Amino acid sequence: MSATHLVGVDVGIGDELDLEPVVDVIATRLDEVGAGHGVRITTHAVTTTTGTRGAVTVSLQQAVTSQVQMSELVRALAQPFATADHLHGARGPGVWSERGGTAGPEALVEGARAACRALREGLQGRSVRYAGRSQLVGEVTIAQLSLVAPVVVIGGVEPPCPSAVVVTRDFVRPRLVMGDWVIHVQAAADGSYVPFETPTPTRCCQDK
């Protein structure tokens, strides 16, 4: 992967899909230390010595890392916090910086590092904050989606028409597949398309 500098964050949540509110907190903290510009935030399913769970990677641009002290950024991300469904521990998240610097419980630092490795090696990932995200709201076309990442139709045989409508539901999450970002969509009954991932997935169990 071509990211300049990666920082991992692990709050100990078992399901990658439950990390959406965590990403919101991380994005706010990056803005507070002046590191939010041009950032990509991704979630990953990682396996560590303490089990499999979800963790987050922050990809920072060179212009950002040259102006922000990494120790300040790591310290900001490692502060304890709570979201509506999770209390992330009095000791705070585990944070691991590719350029040096860690904070938080050792077991969570391991997960944070594993998330960065998954992104750097192009193994797997799910992009929540990324360039162009603000334009992918409401109804857009396949061509507009393709400006962010190539579009792949689940179960499709022929490539979709560039002018075909995609009802985004304001929830487009590109996935990392074999080193490349792609956007998965599926055909709807009315001839339009919708992103394959929904804002409210149905699951048999959750880490709450």
Average pLDDT over the chain, rounded to whole?
90
What confidence tier does 82 reach under pLDDT thresholds 50, 70, 90?
Answer: confident
Hey, how many other C-beta atoms are within 10 angstroms of the C-beta on 67? 10
| Amino acid letter, residue 119 | L
What confidence tier does 120 reach under pLDDT thresholds 50, 70, 90?
Answer: very high
The residues, ordered by sequence, that sit 6+ positions from 73 with a Cβ below 8 Å of its Cβ are: 7, 30, 33, 35, 97
Query: What is the pLDDT at residue 187?
Result: 94
Query: What is the pLDDT at residue 208?
Result: 42
Q: What is the pTM of this model?
A: 0.90
Query: What is the pLDDT at residue 90?
Result: 58
Specify the range with the lowest mean pLDDT, choosing from 25-34, 135-144, 162-171, 193-202. Answer: 193-202
Determine which helix (DSSP H) or strand (DSSP E) holds 115, and give its type and residue range: helix 106-120
Q: Residue 86: pLDDT above 50?
A: yes
Average pLDDT over residues 132-161: 93
Query: What is the pLDDT at residue 158?
Result: 83
What confidence tier does 79 reach under pLDDT thresholds 50, 70, 90?
Answer: very high
Report the b/e string of 116-146 with b at 16+ CB within 10 A: bbbbeeebbbbbbbbeebeebeeebbbebbe
